[in-house]
Structure 1
Amino acid sequence: MKRQLLALFFPLVLGAGAAGQSYLVHPPQYKNLEGESSTSYPFYYHATNAAYRQMIYQQVHDNLSKTPLPLKGIAFRRDVWQLYTWPAWSADVELSVSHSPQGITSTTLSRTFAANMGKDATVVIAKKKVRFPPTVGTGPFPRPFAFNLPFDTGKIFLYKGGGRSL
């Protein structure tokens, strides 16, 4: 059984290739602040029930940038209120990126997973086991982006800009 979660909106880092800029935090207002919500998705690693450890996850980001950006990776950070230490862990990951079809935003997602994917969907991380580092339950506020997913060698997704959803 696979679980499906259609949309959550929390800070993440996109590996961008703009001159003089190595990353972009989205939404930008959370670069140095904790987000307003959190979730253990898509990395619900500590579940004991195998069904909860398998899922297809989809996230939409609105108005990412007015200008085109070459995207080279994505990263997530822990919620500051998670006070326990996580040991190193791994997950099978496959990541596809696309521009959302016209009319699809983080608030207008279809319940049909495929309807939210654009025709330019690109597999930027082929399915593989990814190992994530241990993280401690104390430290800076907000937490650093410790869960990094660089795209596979040679894989870059060109975000077209214009405030489109991704």
Structure 2
Amino acid sequence: MASTRARVGGHFELTDHLGARVTPGTYHGRFTLVFFGFTHCGQICPAVLSRNSRALDLLGPAADEIRALYITVDPDRDSPEVLAAYLRDRYPRYTGLTGTAEEIEAAKRAYRVFARRADELDDYTVPHTSFTFLMNPDGDYVTHYTETLTAEELADGLAHDIERHRPGG
């Protein structure tokens, strides 16, 4: 019987903050924690990235099984160099991913993420979905976490979900 569950995740081709081209296959064999946002985000992105980073710290050695990815929804401003500077000191566990507008749109569609540029005078913001997705080592969707969880709750959820979805587990 075919599943009626919507597929989350899938193929993307993006550029990491070091300038290398990546696909989901780049991260094969490791869990990935995927969050979409942008470096000019004033509240949600810094809060979620800080919370996620703290949760990974709380996991201890188990966090070594996870690759944290930050996919921009603002490719016009978030070049690999901008992402590298943003993540280096604040969120070093994260790999930033960017691409052309078309590549970002394809990644957003794959993850069923909403994000749309909202112009405000000479500047703009990009309202967006704030879920953090957990993908298994084969790149398949495991679950997502809302921004309302604490770092401790997220760490507990990650530990449980990783144990349940570890290959051979």
Tell me, yes or no, whether TM beats 0.5: no
* TM-score after normalising by structure 1: 0.28
Larger strand fraction of residues? 1
Name the one with the larger helix percent.
2
